């Protein structure tokens, strides 16, 4: 018999009932944990609050490690439809995650990894793999202690790997959802094990203001908080979101109901400039309350980029910008604008550095395909154009139509992923004379497959696996000396993130170059095009990568800044 064999008589006592694996080197109290939950409804701004809180704590010198938990049973967000879940954000290591991961990177001004993202599917796969390997000593594997134990282990391992002062956990969904209840239980256990001065809870709730009554109603918020308390969790801070500033009476009601001191009930109402929120949180004193609850304090901030001086200057730049430019975003998921959240944010980041405010005009490419609107009418009042990423054939000809218009009418153009591929298709057809040129994603039998799937991607697909089979994550492009890309980046290489299967076929590089489209950046390992541009155009550049994923408020994407400057 093997050691710990469940059939061994010595094991018949049943063993230990607990399961709390502690990683080697972990010390209780070295890292503090802040758990952010949401109540009343989804979409209250929990992710924005979590990111802004992370910014504030980072500005005060603390090493903040964010974690997003999503209760769905998908292993990651890679196979999700944008109409259902919004944008799939890609990390540098290739992880396909929830769009809140993008918020964390933007607000913390640094890259995060797969260790900052946890899903129900990821947890249960870990547990089943361990069970099959006999790691649970013959036990019946249960939500408590095994599922909760693995969750706590995940957070503690992150604390060690990232040398965290604060692990900032956002619990996805809404309190009351069955799919996150076991995670909340794990967090309750974490506070029990670590101590109340090491783990704290923030509940972000929503105070409704029905138009028919013209007054605030806090009952829904009270019930949401009560649901959290019914799970054994006492919040330390309540953040009341609202459309307008709430009254002191509302704060007092929430205070009594949540058993939270009224000075720890904070109101965050809708404001136009979300980059001002970290400064607002500081003015409200939420940082001091957190330091008091967790028995910790700020540290000297040695970050040369993410510091209070630079953040205040950014807010001032945003406020002082006067000139407006209109940028058209032509996509196929425009009914759900979260599908393009990082593109929106990249424009927001670039705007103050170009001295402008950006107005976005959304254009559904399918409407152009269906002739509900002409290309000329769609673009007649815009200063610049972006065609972002996407998949499939729907709306493709509409996108090609607007790209042709931008090329012929000298409208500043930025193409992202599919936006680069379709720019190549349009140029091959109308300038190179390759009639019927296309991407094999749309027309597998095209005579001129200028965009085609590369062999190793085809091999992955042939194994009947869809998730995680694209070219994902950061790749280094070598930039052509003197090109627009080279000038904008100010260096000879650029690392940007990818999420696609199809590539500009190297066999067509020569004819494109000969006719005036420069291949201005390549991935040297496979000679795959990363950037294309038209030097004779006012501003026409496109990237196979998703440049929007690496844009930051204090470090905007050079090509987005270039686009807005070209519009001005």
**Residues with catalytic function:** 417, 546, 548
CB-CB neighbours of 465 under 10 Å: 9
For residue 183, whether the previous peptide bond is cis, meaning omega lies within 30 degrees of 0, is no
- Which residue, among 76, 115, 124, 73, has the nearest Cα to 93 in the 3D structure? 115
Task: Please answer whether residues 221 and 40 qualify as being in contact, where contact means their C-beta atoms are separated by less than 8 angstroms.
Answer: yes
Q: Which tokens go with 504?
A: 């500009």
Task: Please answer whether residues 223 and 253 qualify as being in contact, where contact means their C-beta atoms are separated by less than 8 angstroms.
Answer: no
Measured CA angle at 46 (ends 205, 335), to 5 deg: 110
Q: What are phi and psi of 326, to 5 degrees?
A: -110, 120
Q: What are phi and psi of 379, to 5 degrees?
A: -110, 5
How far apart are the C-alpha atoms of 331 and 193, rounded to whole Å? 49
How far apart are the C-alpha atoms of 271 and 250, rounded to whole Å? 19
How far apart are the C-alpha atoms of 402 and 419, rounded to whole Å? 11
How far apart are the C-alpha atoms of 413 and 564, rounded to whole Å? 10
DSSP conformation letters of 196-240: TTTEEEEEEEE-B--TTTTS-B-HHHHHHHHHHHHTT---SEEEE
How far apart are the C-alpha atoms of 443 and 292, rounded to whole Å? 62
Angle between helices 178-194 and 148-161 (to 10 degrees): 60
Residue where the block lists tokens 């701004």: 45
How far apart are the C-alpha atoms of 486 and 492, rounded to whole Å? 6
Across 398-461, where does the E strand assignment appear? 413-416, 438-439, 449-453
- Which residue, among 524, 457, 508, 517, has the nearest Cα to 483 in the 3D structure? 517
How far apart are the C-alpha atoms of 66 and 76, rounded to whole Å? 17
């Amino acid at each position: 018999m093997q050691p710990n064999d469940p059939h061994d008589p010595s094991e018949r006592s049943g063993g230990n009932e607990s399961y709390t694996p502690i990683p080697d080197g972990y010390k209780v109290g070295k890292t503090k944990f802040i758990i952010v939950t949401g109540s009343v409804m989804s979409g209250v701004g929990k992710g924005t609050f979590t990111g802004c809180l992370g910014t504030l704590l980072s500005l005060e010198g603390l090493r903040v490690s964010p974690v997003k938990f999503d209760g769905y049973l998908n292993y990651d967000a890679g196979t999700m439809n944008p109409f259902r879940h919004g944008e799939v954000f890609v990390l540098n290591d290739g992880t396909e995650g929830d769009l809140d991961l993008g918020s964390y990177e933007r607000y913390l001004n640094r890259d995060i990894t797969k260790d900052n993202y946890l899903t129900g599917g990821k947890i249960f796969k870990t547990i089943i793999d361990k069970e099959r390997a006999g790691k649970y000593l013959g036990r019946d594997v249960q939500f408590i202690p095994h599922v909760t134990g693995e969750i706590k282990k995940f957070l503690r391992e992150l604390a060690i790997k990232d040398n965290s002062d604060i692990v900032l956990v956002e619990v996805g969904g809404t309190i009351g959802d069955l799919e996150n209840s076991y995670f909340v239980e794990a967090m309750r256990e974490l506070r029990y094990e670590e101590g109340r001065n090491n783990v704290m809870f923030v509940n972000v709730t929503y105070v409704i203001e029905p138009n028919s009554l013209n007054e605030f109603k806090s009952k829904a918020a009270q019930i949401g908080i009560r649901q959290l308390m019914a799970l054994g969790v006492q919040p330390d801070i309540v953040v009341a979101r609202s459309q307008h500033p709430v009254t002191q009476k509302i704060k007092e009601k929430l205070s009594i109901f949540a058993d939270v001191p009224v000075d720890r009930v904070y109101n965050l109402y809708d404001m136009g400039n979300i980059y001002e929120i970290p400064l607002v949180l500081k003015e409200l004193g939420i940082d001091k309350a957190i330091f008091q609850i967790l028995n910790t304090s700020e540290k000297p901030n040695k970050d040369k980029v993410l510091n209070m001086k630079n953040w205040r200057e950014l807010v001032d730049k945003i406020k002082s910008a006067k000139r407006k430019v209109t940028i058209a975003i032509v996509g196929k998921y425009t009914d759900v604008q979260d599908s393009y959240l990082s593109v929106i944010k990249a424009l927001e980041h670039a705007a103050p550095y170009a001295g402008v405010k950006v107005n976005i005009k959304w254009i559904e490419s399918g409407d152009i395909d269906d002739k509900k609107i002409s290309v000329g009418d769609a673009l007649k009042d815009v200063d610049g154009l972006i065609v972002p990423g996407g998949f499939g054939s729907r709306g493709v000809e509409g996108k090609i139509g607007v790209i042709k218009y931008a090329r012929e009418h000298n409208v500043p153009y930025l193409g992202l992923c599919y936006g680069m591929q379709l720019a190549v298709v349009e140029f091959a057809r109308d300038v190179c004379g390759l009639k019927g040129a296309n991407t094999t994603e749309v027309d597998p039998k095209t005579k001129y497959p200028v965009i085609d799937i590369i062999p190793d991607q085809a091999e992955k697909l042939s194994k009947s696996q869809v998730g995680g089979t694209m070219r994902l994550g950061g790749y280094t492009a070598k930039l052509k000396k003197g090109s627009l890309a080279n000038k904008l980046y100010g260096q000879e290489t650029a690392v940007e993130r990818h999420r696609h299967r199809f590539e500009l076929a190297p066999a067509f590089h020569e004819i494109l170059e000969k006719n005036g489209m420069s291949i201005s950046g390549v991935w040297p390992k496979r000679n795959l095009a990363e950037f294309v541009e038209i030097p004779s155009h006012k501003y026409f550049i496109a990237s196979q990568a998703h440049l929007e994923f690496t844009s930051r408020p204090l470090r905007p994407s050079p090509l987005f800044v270039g686009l807005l400057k070209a519009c001005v």
